[in-house]
Amino acid sequence: MLSSLFAAVIARFRGLGRRRIVSFSRDARRRGAPPRLEALEDRCVLSNTTTIPDFADMPPIVAYPDVLMALQSKGNPSVVFVGDSISYGYSYGEGAPVWAAFMAPLGMADYGIPGQTTQSLLFQLSLGQLAGMHPLVVVLNIGGNNLREGDPPQAVAAGVLADVATIHQSLPQAQVLVLGVLPGEESPTDPYRLAGAQTDALVSQMLVGDPHASFVSIGSVFLQPDGTISDTMMYDFLHPTTLGYLNMTAALLPVIQQAIVSGTPATPSVPSTIHIPGTPHLPNPSAPPPAQQIPLMPS
């Protein structure tokens, strides 16, 4: 009796949120097949016949952090970040001092997982990552790992939209800011960079007509005038340095603040300097002078 009950609980856990979520099998990913979506009122929504990826189908390095992150105490943040190592590094990596100075005082929470893909994020969300919270804004940064694994831009864009639809199901009133795939690799003609641009173009088109989601492009803050990336901005030409996160914050924070105040994101703008308390003002090489320093709290 006890064993059968335990088996039922496990089955229930693995089936959590199984309806209305996209199925991503390993075979489908190898074929580059996009998740199934349906058109409804000029927008893409999840089919009610699809399922989430199974725990056993994901690499442990991603699956176990997904579970641990979803089970931790959540509180009631005003802004939530979900995504891959770019998001994770914001509060737990190179961006930690920037996060502590600018994001934490605004009541933000970071649920990014290194190695996260559009598929594995669906699993994290299905575990109840957003359950019981009422954030005003969700910042989604996902898709880069899919491109690095060889998924075509069309499949990656469809996966991003599946994640957006799942977030809408959990938080129907929250504004979802979908970040473009950050530029990667040193050269502007690198295939990864080109695939990211194609993915961004598709995602921005697919979000048209969604009143609770907006595409936000901030990748230019990492680029030099000739389009290359310096290791002072991305230490491995993929992940931001502390200075890279400073530039990212300078562009992103006003967009988040505008979304909180009005429910509509503003166009990213970049101040000429931004300041972490206890450190000197650092010049922002991507910004045209003059500009105003980022406020710590919404105006």
Give residue-wise pLDDT tens across range 225-252: 999 999 999 999 999 999 999 999 999 9
Those residues with Cβ within 8 angstroms of residue 80's Cβ, 6 or more apart along the chain or in another chain: 108, 109, 110, 111, 130, 133, 135, 137, 138, 139
DSSP at 102:
I
CATH superfamily of 60-283: SGNH hydrolase (3.40.50.1110)
In the numeric block, which tokens belong to residue 105?
């005082």
Q: CA 205, 118, 149, 223 torsion: positive or negative?
A: positive
CA atoms within 13 A on the CB side of 212: 17
Rounded-to-integer distance, Cα 173 and Cα 176, Å: 9
| Residues known to be catalytic | 85, 236, 239
| The model's pTM | 0.74
Give per-residue pLDDT as tens, 147-182: 999 999 999 999 999 999 999 999 999 999 999 999
